[in-house]
């Protein structure tokens, strides 16, 4: 009979609660959507116009896109529902 272990090793990091104003969340939501649009333009129009992925500039564009995504935490992606639950999408003053 298989007996499960009595203790499990849990690795990771405990993080403190995130406190984001509705305006900040709206800005991040807007930035994420704008970035998604820019990425589509680059992938659908610009990179093919450069001759595809064989062009070194296309690789640089891809590297920058990844850098922005990872560096920004994809514009606070893990906390997107916190803003949505407080109607941060349409918070006043955020553009």
> Tell me, what's the pLDDT at 46?
95
Alpha helices in 1-95 (DSSP H): 22-41, 47-49, 56-71, 73-76, 80-85
Per-chain mean pLDDT for the chain = 75
Q: pLDDT digit string (tens) for 4-19?
A: 555 666 676 665 666 7
Mean pLDDT of 28-44: 89
Of residues 47 and 18, more confidence is placed in 47
Residue 95 — pLDDT band, cuts 50, 70, 90? very low
- Residues 6 or more apart in contact with residue 90 via CB below 8 angstroms: 26
Query: Is the model's pLDDT at 48 over the cut of 80?
Result: yes
CB-count exposure of residue 25 (10 Å: 0-12, 13-18, 19+): buried
Give the percent of the chain with pLDDT over 70.
57
């Amino acid at each position: 009979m298989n007996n499960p272990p009595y203790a499990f090793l849990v690795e990771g990091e405990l993080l403190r609660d995130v406190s984001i104003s509705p305006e900040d969340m709206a800005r991040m939501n807007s930035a994420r959507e704008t970035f998604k649009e820019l990425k589509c333009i680059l992938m659908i129009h610009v990179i093919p116009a450069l001759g595809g992925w064989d062009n070194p500039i296309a690789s640089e564009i891809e590297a920058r896109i990844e850098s922005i995504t990872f560096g920004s935490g994809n514009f606070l992606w893990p906390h997107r529902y916190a803003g949505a639950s407080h109607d941060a999408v349409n918070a006043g003053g955020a553009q």
